[in-house]
Amino acid sequence: MAHALETIDSNGEVVDVVFLCSDACHREYAGADYRGWYGCIELEFTDYCAQCGVVLPGIYQSEYGDTGPCDCLLHNVVVNRFPRERGERCRHGRWIQLPANRVASRR
């Protein structure tokens, strides 16, 4: 499950969606653009929080084939982490938290 921050253009069309792990990361990432809680969204594919880099498990694991998320990702309930220089991987080698320099969506 994830929070979502939509970017809407002048025509009212959604032009980008950024996923975040928690309301706290949502508020920090959005700053003045925070428009309240969007609701939790079930992701089809695994993504990572745009603010802290923590894993947001999806139904499918696109980067690891179609095997679905491992138990490590499904039971990783720690959200709103401080960005970490080296990140963290589970015992299967999958990212639980991206390294700070790989959090692509940081503003």
Q: What is the pLDDT of residue 104?
A: 60
CA quadruple 89, 107, 58, 41: dihedral positive or negative?
positive
Sorted by where each begins, the domain ranges of the chain are 3-102
* pLDDT tens digits, one per residue of 12-58: 998 988 898 888 888 888 888 888 877 778 888 888 888 888 888 87
Collect all residues with Cβ–Cβ distance below 8 Å to 50 and sequence separation of at least 6. Answer: 5, 18, 19, 20, 25, 29, 103, 104, 105, 106
* pLDDT tens digits, one per residue of 54-97: 888 877 655 555 566 677 766 665 666 667 788 888 887 878 88
Q: What is the pLDDT of residue 106?
A: 46
Q: What is the pLDDT of residue 93?
A: 80
Q: What is the pLDDT of residue 13?
A: 92
CA quadruple 70, 57, 78, 83: dihedral positive or negative?
positive
Collect all residues with Cβ–Cβ distance below 8 Å to 92 and sequence separation of at least 6. Answer: 70, 72
Instruction: Label residue 7 by pLDDT band (50, 70, 90).
Output: confident
